[in-house]
Amino acid sequence: MNGKYTPPDPSLWSGRNSGQQEYLHEKVQLAEALGEETFQSDARSFALLGYACDEGVRRNGGRVGAAEGPDAIRKELGKMASHLSPKDEVIDLGNVCCIGGDVEETQKMLSELVAKIIHQGGFPVLLGGGHDISLAHYRGLRSTLPPSQSLGIINFDAHFDLRTHENGNHSGSPFYQIAEDCRKIDQPFQYLCLGIRREANPPELFRRARELGVEYLELKDFTLNRLEGVKKSLRGFLDTLDRVYVTVDMDGFSSAFSPGVSAASPMGFTPEIVLLCLKEILTSGKVMGLDVAETNPKYDRDQQTAKLAAGIIHYIMHEKSLL
């Protein structure tokens, strides 16, 4: 794959041994890229694929280091207990890497692999890496759907990420670029952003969000004491969709929970409300793929951010296995 793909590293998967696949490092399988029969036809297959790229963060003026995020998440995920069914597969497909700062080519490769995962019956669980992962993930998912089916986006984030991209793709532009894609193919741009911080988004981005018809909840409204209103917004959004793509930006959490990100702030949401929302979203049966973005081990504290990202993935896989 022209030097931009690295196969899975078995040394990242270690932990307590049960001998009975009671920990995820014992259950995970490693597969280089995607063969013709990577996933079992009668299994629920969770496909882990890393986006080892932080060039988009650098272009957006953020702190680099998120290229190391995928492997840091794997290390924490492997230590966690597995309550998955014997028929559930967890397959590590390795990383797509950014070589020579070529974000666009890296995104293209990731999109192609996401499409292959879907065509072969897997469920993409992507590990970032900068939030420019979203443009690639969305394009890969969209390419597998007929024009008649809608694909919406739910983003847990402090930022709209609706900046323009005249000087190249970056971590602040993915959803603006998706809006452009939707316009070109005459598809509605359906985007819900949860946790927007007013001090982290200039008026220009609020205007753009309104112009593009973006639905959003500001941080003050994305709290546990307003949970029923949050769930109502989620249900209303999900009711308009055929399928949905979910992305969790780790910098949306308060730095009390998630210090290792490119743009940390003590102002942010809590893990609990995100997990409650994820349960609501999964219950719809419309989730097509999920990723976590912006984990930056360079600035992490006791691997707290990597552990939180791994915990979100653990939660998603186990809740989905119950459906």
Please indicate if the annotation marks 249 as binding a ligand.
yes
Q: Alpha helices, DSSP H only, in the chain?
A: 24-27, 55-59, 69-78, 103-119, 133-142, 174-184, 203-211, 227-238, 271-283, 304-321
Is 131 labeled as ligand-binding?
Answer: yes
Question: Tokens standing for 270?
Answer: 């809590």
Write down the pLDDT at residue 38: 85
Whole-angstrom CA distances from 123 to 19, 21, 36, 119, 270 are 26, 21, 16, 10, 26
Domains held by the chain: number: 1
Residue with structure tokens 């890229």?
A: 33
- 295: pLDDT strictly greater than 70: yes
For the stretch 191-239, pLDDT in tens is 999 999 999 999 999 999 999 999 999 999 999 999 999 999 999 999 9
In which domain, by residue range, is 106 found? Answer: 5-321
Please report the sign of the dihedral spanned by the C-alpha atoms of residue 141, residue 130, residue 103, residue 10. negative
* Average pLDDT score over residue span 125-141: 98
Structure tokens at 58: 């650098």
The span from the CA of 67 to the CA of 147, in Å, is 33
Q: What percent of the chain has pLDDT over 90?
A: 94
| Apex 316 CA angle, 76 and 97, nearest 5 | 55
Residue 161 labelled as part of a binding site: yes
Q: Is the pLDDT of residue 249 over 60?
A: yes
pLDDT bracket for residue 3 (50, 70, 90): very low
159 is in an annotated binding site: yes
pLDDT tens digits for 251-275? 999 999 999 999 999 999 999 999 9
* Token representation of residue 93: 């497909």
CATH of residue 26? 3.40.800.10
Instruction: Give the whole-number percent of the chain exceeding pLDDT 70.
Output: 99
